[in-house]
Amino acid sequence: MLLITLYMSREMTRLEGNAHEKEGWIIQKEVSTHMNKEKKRTGLAVLMSAMLVLLSACGGGGTNNPTGNGSTTTPQTSADTGKTDASNLPDITLTVFDNLANYAGIQSGWFGKLVNDKFHIKLNIIAPNLTGGGQKVATQMVSGDLGDLVIGLGGKDYTDAIKAGLLLDWNKNGLLDKYGQDIKKYAPEALKANSAMFGGGTAIYGVGGNVGSGTGPSEGSDMGFGPNLRWDLYQQLGSPKIKNLDDLLNVLKQMQQLAPKSDSGKPTYGFSLWSDWDSDYSMNAKVTAQLFGYAEGDNYNNNSLILTKADSNSWQGMLDDNSYYMQGLDFFYKANKMGLLDPDSLTQKFSNVSDKYKDGQILAAQFPWASNVYNTPEHLNAGKGFKYVPIDTQKVWSGGYNPYGSNGIWAIGAKTKYPERVMQFVNWLYTPEGIAESNYGPKGLLWDLNSKGKPELTDLGYKALPANNVPIPDQYGGGNFKDGTNQLNNATLALTMINPETGEPYDYTLWTSYLEHNPDPVTKSWSDAMGVLTQKQYVVKHDLISVHPAFFNGKPPAEEPADIKLKRGEVGKVIKQYSWQMMFAKSDDQFNKLKQDMMTKAKGLGYDDVIKWQADQYENTVATMYKK
Amino acid sequence: MNASLTKVTNSSIVRKRFQSRDKYKLFLMASPFLILVLLFSYLPLFGWIYAFYDFRPGIPLSQSKFMGFYWFTSMVSNPIQRQELYRVLTNTFAFSGLGMLTSVLPVIFAILLTEIRNSAFKRIVQTITTLPNFISWVLVYSFAFMLFSVDNGFVNNLLFKLNWIEQPTNILASSEHVWLRMTLWEVWKGLGWGAILYIAAITGIDPELYEAARVDGAGRFRLIWHVTVPGIMSTYFVLLVLSIASFINAGFDQFFVFSNAMNMNHIEVLDLYVYNVGMANGNYGFATAVSILKSLVSLILFFAANSLSKLVRGEGVV
């Protein structure tokens, strides 16, 4: 699950820079992934909101593990956290306003106990993703109090919060110097960047997340984008080469003929889409761009209607003739004509899609994390599973390391009563110990260091990770591993960075011991066929990747003028609506007519003005990076 | 009024007669409701000021950019814009109009219900038809999704297994007969509830009227036509006039949950449009501007309906 979370948060982080208003809707869906494992049956048709209510109720009550004052164990203090020993401090509860969380209520389970033992802190998470979305953020901003710890407030909301005096300056009273030495040590550039962009060079209003440095992709073993296909069926077809998107459809058609029914006897489809993550366009159609090195926006400005190339100065308008977005619409239109597109696509939510993946009803995925729910030990041991299959001409979009930090900013609320305690906690999350333990639990439980000082998973670790319902011993908080995972859902340092204490990456899927651990039949067959161990290794080796380098000019992105914002909203609505109609068009004529209608309407509502403004932003900032 | 009376009569005795001794008590009793009206109906009017600013949550109005009438003019700034507004208003009026046409159904239903002699059966029917009113539209949609989804939908599975259809279809994602289908959902949900008022009105009709009519030889249908229907007509009229005032408020939640790209052209009512363009994108100024216009239109419609009622029935509702 951590992997899923990571990818999703990466996808989100990128999106939120461009369409932050919508981000609530975008991330919201992830919850259902977690949820659905338990609630498969009820999950079927329950509308998102109804489900979320159910979920948070269950999550809150399930694995609560109250730790009394007296029973706290002495916290382990490593060299790094020596200054932050909080074991003698009074118990407090911090309100965490977390724009990335998909869990609301008190953090429970093993992570809850870990934080309580070390810091005597309980985390009460408020999650706009679950209720209210963008409006919840707006309400909280108007109320004038964002809680103690503020996570993932990105883009315009963040600058507005600073302007409104809702965030604490970390330089005030030497807070950062006293309690944040590890953040200064491990994310110095990110602190400087925040200060330059938002604090006028003197104040610091937080630190970006997912900080990393170095060249190359920052992803773990899987990339953010595939395509991933049912490897067993693909092999039965003799692993035909896929040169372009049309080949992909043909292969999928043959796979569908091989496996016309799912595990539970339902008809199979090549793709199943969902509309509840859409912002100004159909998200699924847009991902086509990401298979070819383009992505919406430029990862810095608020420009969601242009597609920019990850590693060179090039952009296209979403509706340009033959833009990757239009190719995406065409691709899914053809898929629908061939009977490869789930007819429920338009009306269902991501949770429904996730259920279909689990059942084996869908044969391909744009996102590796979306199809990974099918890769259960039972399926894998039976030789069935999803794996990456390259398209010859593709360039997988990849986020490079960002020393300045992502939009998933860690900040402290201006009205907090405990600035030092919050700072101590955030500081710990930036230490090697904090990263390892907040992701994989305390040392000795799921992981340990071997005689050479290298990390390896314990037997329990192999069973529990990434996020399985495996019981955790009572002394570590009880409950099961999945329910106790860190619900803050925001990385501090990039997990693919090297842990200075072990010399290996933080991400367990990249540990030598893990890669050498005997793989399941599907992974083994894939590795043998591809000659590499992971998707990342493959795309790097065969140059099927475009890495987007971090951009920094010391300034915050330009504010979207009110008229452009209104036009974008209206244009986006038209694009979204007509895109879906085009994908499900009954004939070529209808497809072309809808396309024409979309153009006329979008242009009439100010599409050109929006594109001009967005492209100007790109040319003036990120594009200059490639011109040097 | 009191003051003028004192002036004219200048007599303390007359003044006493016209002054209610309980006036303070009565005023105190009414005041909680006056305060509520003030709080919820008049105070929010202050919010209209946001229609003239580029408001962003958290930033005080004094620091927000003044936009003048930009949000108002942007609604009609070019042909496509106007087309959009026209489309949205057409939908709104269509749903309101259909709602009015179907408003006779609860009347008919109430009459039929009161004619049932078996009281146990009557109560069961009334309970069953009233229940849907208490189900939120969100749950109604999940119910609809369970019935009509292609893969797991009950209806599609049934028809498919019976070999009545060759290919399951996604009924929820169809752009045909959207107005009709949405109205049917609404009738299903509101029929029993809407009938309650009329049943009450029918109970209030003087039984002597029925007896007299029976003596004159009226049968069951004539009783209904000449006694029951005229007896509840005034109730129906008041409700109809009130509903004209909310003609432009076709509702939101029903259309919000049922809307998708396929049916958006026909389902997008004014409130949904405001939500999609205004709220969902953080254009609060625009959203406020549209709702100001909406309030004005409602006010005009209401006074028009009221004077029409005065003209036709000789009495208004206010």
- Domain extents in chain A: 2-216+404-442
Q: Which among A607, A579, A614 has a CA at the least distance from the CA of A285? A: A579
Q: Where are the beta strands (DSSP E) in B115-185?
A: none
pLDDT of residue B239: 86
Which residues lie below 8 Å from residue A123, measured CB to CB, with a gap of 6+? A93, A94, A96, A106, A107, A112, A115, A149, A487, A488
Q: Please, which residues have CB within 8 angstroms of residue A460's CB and are 6 or more apart in sequence?
A: A445, A446, A470
Provide DSSP, A413-445.
BTT-S-HHHHHHHHHHHTSHHHHHHHHH-STTT
Asked if A43 contacts A144 with a C-beta cutoff of 8 angstroms, the reply is no
What is the predicted pLDDT for the residue at A628?
65
B42-61: per-residue pLDDT in tens?
998 899 999 999 888 888 88
Residue B146: its chain A contacts at CB < 8 A? 44-45
Helix axes A109-119, A419-429, angle to 10 degrees: 120
Per residue in A224-255, pLDDT (tens digit) is 998 999 999 999 999 999 999 999 999 999 99
A211 pLDDT more than 80: yes
Cis peptide bond upstream of A466, omega within 30: yes
Percent with pLDDT over 90 in chain A: 60
User: A59: Cβ–Cβ under 8 A, 6 or more apart, which residues?
Assistant: A103, A104, A105, A108, A483
Least confident of A480-484, B86-90, B247-251: B247-251
> Comparing B168 with B48, which gets the higher pLDDT?
B48
Cβ contact (<8 Å) for B80 and A563? no
The pLDDT confidence band at residue B208, using thresholds 50, 70 and 90, is: very high
A57: confidence class by pLDDT, cuts 50, 70, 90: very low
Q: A residues 109-168 near B, CB within 8 Å?
A: 134-135, 137-139, 141-142, 144, 156-157, 160-161, 163-164, 166
Q: What angle do CA A466, A469, A473 make, to 5 degrees?
A: 100
Give the model confidence (pLDDT) of A401-419 as tens digits: 999 998 899 999 999 999 9
Distance, in Å, from the CA atom of A61 to the CA atom of A53, rounded to the nearest integer, reads: 13
Average pLDDT, chain B: 85
Q: Is residue A429 over pLDDT 70?
A: yes
pLDDT of residue A39: 35
- Residue A509 near residue A3 (C-beta atoms within 8 A): yes
- Identify the pLDDT of residue A95: 95
Partners of residue B80 in chain A, C-beta under 8 Å: 600-601, 603-605
Tally the residues of chain A: 628
CA angle A220, A222, A225 (to 5 degrees): 120
A559 by DSSP, 3-state: which? coil
Q: Predicted confidence band at B14 (pLDDT cuts at 50, 70, 90)?
A: low
**A15: confidence class by pLDDT, cuts 50, 70, 90:** very low
Residue B176 confidence (pLDDT): 82
Res. A35: pLDDT tops 60: no
Q: At what angle do helices A48-62 and A23-38 cross, to 10 degrees?
A: 60
In angstroms, the separation between the Cα of residue B13 and the nearest Cα of chain A is 56
Compute the average pLDDT of residues A530-557: 92
- Structure tokens belonging to residue A620: 């003036």
Residue A52 has pLDDT above 80, yes or no: no
Q: What fold, for A2-216+404-442?
A: D-Maltodextrin-Binding Protein; domain 2 (3.40.190)
* Residue B139: band (very low, low, confident or very high) from pLDDT cuts 50, 70, 90: very high
Contact A347 B151 (CB under 8 A): no
- What's residue B10's pLDDT? 52
- What is the band of A85 on the pLDDT scale with cuts at 50, 70, 90? low
Are the CB atoms for A276 and A25 separated by under 8 Å?
yes
Which tokens sit at A102?
Answer: 């998909």
CATH code for the structural domain at B59-313: 1.10.3720.10
Q: Out of A62-66, A491-495, B69-73, B232-236, pick the least confident.
A: A62-66
pLDDT recorded at residue B20: 67
The answer to whether residue A25 scores a pLDDT higher than 70 is: no
Chains A, B: CB contacts within 8 A come to: 136
pLDDT bracket for residue A79 (50, 70, 90): very low
Instruction: Give yes or no for residue A4 having a pLDDT over 70.
Output: no
pLDDT in tens, A546-566: 999 998 888 888 888 988 999
CB proximity under 8 Å: B 185-244 to A: none
What residues does each domain of chain B span?
2-48, 59-313
Instruction: Sort out which chain B residues have CB atoms less than 8 A from A267's CB and list them.
Output: 151
Residue with tokens 């599907």: A522
What is the 8-class DSSP label of residue A590? H
Please report how the helices A607-620 and A588-604 are oriented relative to each other, as an axis angle in degrees rounded to 10. Answer: 70
Residue A539: per-residue pLDDT: 95
Q: Which of residues 8-47 of B touch A (CB under 8 A)?
A: none
Mean pLDDT check: name the lowest of A45-49, A338-342, B273-277, B307-311.
Answer: A45-49
| A46–chain B Cβ distance below 8 A for any pair | yes
Q: What pLDDT sits at residue A368? A: 93
Alpha-carbon gap: B56 to the closest alpha carbon of chain A (Å) = 8
- Mean pLDDT, to the nearest integer, of B94-115? 92
State yes or no: pLDDT of A108 exceeds 50.
yes
Mutation choice for A interface testing from B143, B152, B273, B286 by most A CBs within 10 A: B152
Do the Cβ atoms of A46 and B142 come within 8 Å?
yes
Number of neighbours of residue B152 by Cβ within 10 angstroms: 20
Average pLDDT taken over every residue of chain A: 84
Q: Which residues of B touch A573 (CB under 8 A)?
A: 276-277
CA atoms within 13 A on the CB side of B112: 12
A569 → chain B, closest CA residue: B277
pTM of the model: 0.81
In this predicted structure, the answer to whether residue A28 has a pLDDT above a threshold of 90 is no
pLDDT at A324 over 90: yes
Give the H/E segment covering residue A178.
Answer: helix A175-179
Residue B257 has pLDDT above 60, yes or no: yes
| Average pLDDT, integer, range A508-536 | 90
Cα–Cα separations (whole angstroms), residue A317 to A320, A322, A613: 5, 10, 12
| Bigger pLDDT: B268 vs B309 | B268
From chain A, pick out residues whose CB is under 8 angstroms from the CB of B281: 21, 565-566, 568-569, 572
Residues ≥6 apart with Cβ < 8 Å to B181: none
pLDDT at A64: 36
* Contact predicate A12/A23, CB 8 Å: yes
- B126-146: buried (b, 16+ CB within 10 Å) or exposed (e) per residue? beebbebeeeebbebbbebbe
Stretch among A16-20, A166-170, B24-28, B143-147 having the lowest mean pLDDT: A16-20
Hey, are the CB atoms on A361 and B151 less than 8 Å from each other?
yes
- What is each CA distance from B150 to A50, A261, A266, A345, A346, in whole angstroms? 21, 15, 11, 10, 11
Whether residues A577 and B78 touch (CB distance < 8 A) is answered with no
